[in-house]
Amino acid sequence: MRSLSVAALIALLATAASHARAIVIIKERGGIFGYLYVNERHIEERGQDYHELKCTEPGFTSCRWTHPPQMVRGFPRLIEYAEERIAAGELTGSYSETIDGVVCTVRWEAQDTRNATITLED
């Protein structure tokens, strides 16, 4: 009976650990007024939640979600934190915070505010 409980606990932890969630924002060659192309995609299947916002080429559209990701810990606050760090001149970095008992990490790499990749994972 005890070995069954231990096995059930291990299976539960493995299932929880396998549920990965990520948000990736890619900004490339943006103009001073915004972007020409703003595309997003959401993949939610088999324990994986992946959300990508890609903004490219000079234009007049803000790099913003039409359908913001749901249920990703730290969104949008940790994304905003990374954007603030980039605007302050910190072009590469990462920051982790425990939210609801889960470590959430935002990473960024940028040339400037219009050319950056920001990734949030929990």
Q: 114 or 45: which carries more pLDDT confidence?
A: 114
Instruction: Please state whether the predicted TM-score (pTM) of the whole model is above 0.85.
Output: no
In terms of residue numbers, what domain contains 72?
Answer: 2-121
- Average pLDDT rounded to a whole number, residues 65-89: 94
Q: What is the mean pLDDT of the chain?
A: 87
Distance from C-alpha of 61 to C-alpha of 64, rounded to nearest angstrom: 8
User: What is each CA distance from 62 to 22, 23, 31, 106, in whole angstroms?
Assistant: 21, 18, 10, 21
The count of domains in the chain is 1
Asked whether the predicted pLDDT for residue 14 surpasses 90, the reply is no
Instruction: Report the share of the chain in percent with pLDDT over 90.
Output: 75
